[in-house]
Structure 1
């Protein structure tokens, strides 16, 4: 069971390649696939409360890398000559000290073993997709429930003195 102070490190391109809907989208537009992944993980984060860090491999792209927030999900583009696997290993060591549970989502078998060695729990791309989809269904089910006929009135929670002052204000009395 995942808790609010847990951390999930995600190998972004690994998920894009392994999740069928993102793999198809990647063939048309890689940026759209990245955005869709981040949207899905943002919903997942909102539901679970976990800290999510998505790492994208930029080792073949010149530059110093980047880190920013998108929908409260931390997005990391690796530095030049740094692989996503190396970045995830580094983050796993840093985050393992500060979180209750550390999860690493990748289908790269070698990376799973390395993450396990760093104290992280492994999640395959398929397992994460299943969890994301199940959480999505739970959210949709909760939104479909009809609103209760009971009103949540503030008046019942206020003291008599406060209610009287508010009533006088409503009437325009001093």
Structure 2
């Protein structure tokens, strides 16, 4: 299973544990042409739904615990949902949420953690914290 994941960063990992993949939802939508087209045609709900459906298909058979993180209207806390085995987080700042989770989970060292994004700041954070990085092109 570890060979399927690619090179893991240095650290102590239970490589038999299911890796966590944090997906920067709106960033991925902006990088995938067919999702971006939907977004640009004022169909953000359709773009989000297509992303979730694509991730369900991508993860069959299950290779990751996937959590898709979306920016939401500022609220007192995060809102959690699920969709066909995916976790969905609505939070005031997806970038901050992903960076915080990357740092926390990588520091625990109990499971591999990945970030799927084209955002340079999150990519730097992933490398800094010893997490894995998946570009939006690789996720496609």
TM-score by length of 2: 0.80
Aligned CA RMSD, in angstroms, stands at 1.7
**Structure 2 counterpart of 1:62:** 74
Looking at structure 1, the residues matched to 74 and 113 of structure 2 have their Cα atoms a distance apart, in angstroms, of: 30
* 1:113 and 2:127 are equivalent in the alignment: no
- Answer 1 or 2: which has greater strand percent: 2
What number of residue pairs does the alignment pair up? 124
Looking at structure 2, the residues matched to 67 and 49 of structure 1 have their Cα atoms a distance apart, in angstroms, of: 21
* 1:44 and 2:58 are equivalent in the alignment: yes
Q: Judging changes above 3 Å, is the alpha-carbon distance between structure 1 residues 19 and 99 closer, same or farther for their aligned structure 2 residues?
A: farther
Q: Judging changes above 3 Å, is the alpha-carbon distance between structure 1 residues 24 and 62 closer, same or farther for their aligned structure 2 residues?
A: same
Residue among 45, 49, 57 paired with 1:31: 45
Larger radius of gyration: 1
Asked if structure 2 preserves the Cα contact closer than 8 Å seen for 1:23 and 1:33, the reply is: yes
Unaligned runs of 5+ in 1: 130-174
Q: Judging changes above 3 Å, is the alpha-carbon distance between structure 1 residues 120 and 36 closer, same or farther for their aligned structure 2 residues?
A: same
Structure with the bigger RCO (C-alpha within 8 Å, sep 6+) is: 2
Give the 4+ runs in structure 1 shifted more than 3 A. none
TM-score by length of 1: 0.66
Give the secondary-structure state (helix, strand or coil) at the position aligned to 1:115: helix
**Structure 1 counterpart of 2:22:** 9
Q: Residue deviations 1:135-161, cap 9 Å, x none?
A: xxxxxxxxxxxxxxxxxxxxxxxxxxx
